Homo-oligomer: A and B are copies of this chain.
Amino acid sequence: MANKLREAWKSGRKTVNGWLAIPHAFPAEVMAQAGFDSLTVDMQHGVQDYLSAVACFQGMQPHGVTPMVRVPWNEPGIVGKVLDAGAMGVICPMVNTREQAEQLVSYCRYPPQGARSFGPIRAGIYGEAGTYWQTANDDVLVIPMIETRQALDNLEAILDVPGIDGVYVGPSDLGLSLGLPPLQDREEPQILEIYGRILHETKKRGQVAGLHTMSGKYTKRMHEMGFAFGTIMNDSGLMLTAARAQIAAARGG
């Protein structure tokens, strides 16, 4: 099955990504009807594991949203498992060197491009079962996170690894690594300059860049700056923010 995100980006359309921290299929199917282009199960900082990621995928599948995962770490076992489960893209934290980027690609691509093991138990659902292995290398998105000073130092080397489709910026970790507080929706010129460099280098290579945000407004601004996709907060954060606003209105002055 063609990857809708890939198609959108090719056509120049910016996309909006949702982020799932709640380990259950029901909130995933609710989020899948909100209008996101893609939903990413956050197995790193979200309250998620492999089976909850599968459940989230099952919840979102009827609604046509592109299923993605942020894996907990650059480890072949879990990367293979989420791809077999049907992830159309893998966002991987803390890819700081060319070698780490090569490993990530290797975990995500079937031979000869990589060393992924064959057994797409749910992923075969998306394509025609017999042809998934022929199209997966072209469809699955491989997206390392750029979120440390070391990664910035190695940015070009990382992007030059064949099979890398783009990068995802983690503003909190990037800040911490640079001696700044772990914030999102950053406005420091130093950071915006880094974003500009990342956009320049990825664009040059026909790759995309995405980042995490805390609002639709900031996502829009980043779209305009050149990011292909932005993530808005996460499921539990949206719920909490909305609850607080409604409670304030109920009690309200």
Contact = CB atoms under 8 A, between A and B. Distances in A.
Interface string A153-175: 00000000000000000101100
B81 A72 contact: yes
B62 A54 contact: no
A239 to B, nearest CB: 4
A146 B221 CA distance: 49
Given A44-B77, A219-B249, 16 more contacts: A25-B55, A27-B236, A27-B239, A44-B80, A44-B81, A44-B117, A45-B121, A47-B85, A49-B51, A72-B78, A73-B80, A75-B77, A111-B176, A216-B247, A230-B250, A233-B246
| CB-CB nearest 3 A-B residue pairs | A45-B119, A216-B249, A73-B77
B249 A220 contact: yes
Given A117-B173, A176-B111, A238-B239, A73 B73 contact: no
Interface bracket on A: 35 or more
Interface in A225-249: 230, 232-233, 235-236, 238-249
B232 A247 contact: yes
A120 B18 CA distance: 19
A181 interface: yes
Interface string A102-116: 000000001110010
A179 interface: yes
B26 A249 contact: no
Contacts of A55: 25, 55, 58
B176 A110 contact: yes
A117 B147 contact: yes
Given A27-B22, A241-B242, A35 B247 contact: yes
A183 B223 CA distance: 38
Interface string A44-65: 1111011110110011011000
Contact of A244 (B35, B120, B179): B35
B26 A236 contact: yes
A145 B80 CA distance: 16
